[in-house]
Structure 1
Amino acid sequence: MARAALTREEVLAAAADLVRRDGPQSLTMRGLAAELGTAVTSIYWHVGNRESLLDALVERTVAELGAIRPAGRTPAARIVSVAVTLRRRLLDHPHLVAMVHERGLTERMFLPARRALVHEVRAAGLRGTRAADVVRAVQFQVAGHVLVERDRERAPARHPVEEEPWGARTAREDPALARALARPVAPERLFALSVKALVAGLLAEPAGEGRGRPSGPGRESGANGVSRAPYSH
């Protein structure tokens, strides 16, 4: 039975699978043709040369990452949800994300998340430079976490050190801390904890720019319902 006519989308899907499985370096026109059971000339017909194929894959990856829909009842919660979703998507597409980065299109890849963050930061009442700082800080937090997590995945197996970092005194005085530090890192939980703390601090109003009545010494109640401490640059 003859093979059905090959489509451009089938070529791109097979190329994306190759990159996911073996990394961008594995993507050759001959290898892709073999994967699809077709001639190399057919691949060229649908996607052009390898550079054109890579460009098309980048466009496809950006589209796959897609728009991010925030979730939550407050701007702070929705900002955190954007960060959590973005981290998950970047971790789910490591080779494709690396390919996007290598082709200098990382900013484009972050664009849907940035748009969502801008909307939520404005909903929290921030404007101008402070709003831009919040958007960028959250984006950097996500990117930094992803880089650390990817590095841990690629690193050789870690061997325990002779002396634990918390020391004998801490183990005696705070055994719960020692036990917690001895457990493996839970990256998802740690990320959620850190990004929530980051967002809470970033949304704190600067002194002298309050929109509500003070709720305590040096604190104000913000428009998003979060008790806010003075923000310092």
Structure 2
Amino acid sequence: MARSSLTRDEVLDAAASLVRQRGPAALTMRGLAAELGTAVTSIYWHVGNRESLLDALVERTVREMGAIRPAGRTPSERILSVARILRRELRGRPHLIAMVHERGLTERMFLPAQQALVHEVHAAGLRGARAADAVRAVQFQIVGFLLVERNRERSPAQHPAESELWDPAAAPDDPALARALGRPADPERLFLLSVRALVTALLAPPPQAPGTAPRAPRTAR
């Protein structure tokens, strides 16, 4: 029996779940109606046709990606928290993110994360082009790392595997390195390591030109 009441948010929740699990191709109005236990006409009433439904899903994804709340005591810690949140959110909804990209809204989706990063690089004392470069470097690092992760996850089983390629005999001068490279990579640890190193370098004071006196440290007013 069809459900007597249904809300737009419930329709969008169910549609997002279908896309998240099986991709946009699995999202049909008939399949969505069956998932919700209602008539197809009810779906059209709440969200319009399939294209309107996809547009609504994209808009909602863009809004959800804007809910970034940095945490930490220092700009460096808060930038790292933005990076972790953004990676987690992107990994959690790959099909929906692909839909956002296809509709030309990727830059708008990233804007809240960029604004959060701008706030933190300003707090660290960066301004102008240097601040812009820092924001983009962190953003590119997050997205690039994520693309590498997905490529590794989707790739077929490798023969020989990394553990076989890095037998300790392959690096007799550094067997500890060989053992480490022979173990599976820990993406979370590597992500934090790479972003932390990048942020430390970006926020470091610029090198002094030869022959110039070092700047006096800022004092709190």
Pair in the same fold by TM > 0.5 = yes
Aligned residue for 1:71? 71
Aligned residue for 2:195? 195
Secondary structure, aligned partner of 1:132: helix
Task: Report the identity percentage.
Answer: 73
Distance 1:48 1:157, change over 3 A: same
Secondary structure, aligned partner of 1:71: coil
Distance 2:2 2:108 in 1: 41
Matched, 1:40 2:40: yes
Secondary structure, aligned partner of 1:21: helix
1:1-233 equivalences under 5 Å are: 3-160=3-160, 164=165, 168=169, 170=171, 172-208=172-208, 214=214
Does structure 2 conserve the Cα–Cα contact (< 8 Å) formed by 1:205 and 1:222? Answer: no
Distance 1:118 1:137, change over 3 A: same
Runs of 4+ more than 3 Å apart:
165-169, 220-223
Which letter maps to 1:141? Q
Distance 1:112 1:178, change over 3 A: same
Q: Deviations over 1:15-73 (max 9, x none)?
A: 00100110111111111112112222211111111111111001111222332111222
Distance 2:42 2:154 in 1: 36
Secondary structure, aligned partner of 1:173: coil
Query: Scaled by the length of structure 2, what TM-score is found?
Result: 0.88
Secondary structure, aligned partner of 2:207: coil
Q: How far did 1:3 drift?
A: 2.4
State which drifts further: 173-182 or 37-46. Answer: 37-46
Distance 2:187 2:55 in 1: 32
Distance 1:155 1:14 in 2: 30
Which letter maps to 2:165? E
Calculate the aligned-residue CA RMSD, in Å. Answer: 2.3
Which letter maps to 1:164? L
Secondary structure, aligned partner of 2:122: helix
Q: Which runs of 5+ in 2 are unaligned?
A: none
Q: How far did 1:207 drift?
A: 3.2
Distance 1:29 1:205 in 2: 56
Query: Scaled by the length of structure 1, what TM-score is found?
Result: 0.84
Equivalent pairs, count: 214
Q: Which runs of 5+ in 1 are unaligned?
A: 215-219, 224-233
Q: How far did 1:158 drift?
A: 2.1
Distance 2:177 2:106 in 1: 38
Distance 1:55 1:222, change over 3 A: farther
Distance 1:221 1:32, change over 3 A: farther
State which drifts further: 75-84 or 200-209. Answer: 200-209
Distance 1:222 1:160 in 2: 54
Q: Deviations over 1:125-147 (max 9, x none)?
A: 11111100000010000000111
Does structure 2 conserve the Cα–Cα contact (< 8 Å) formed by 1:15 and 1:32? Answer: yes
Does structure 1 conserve the Cα–Cα contact (< 8 Å) formed by 2:169 and 2:175? Answer: no
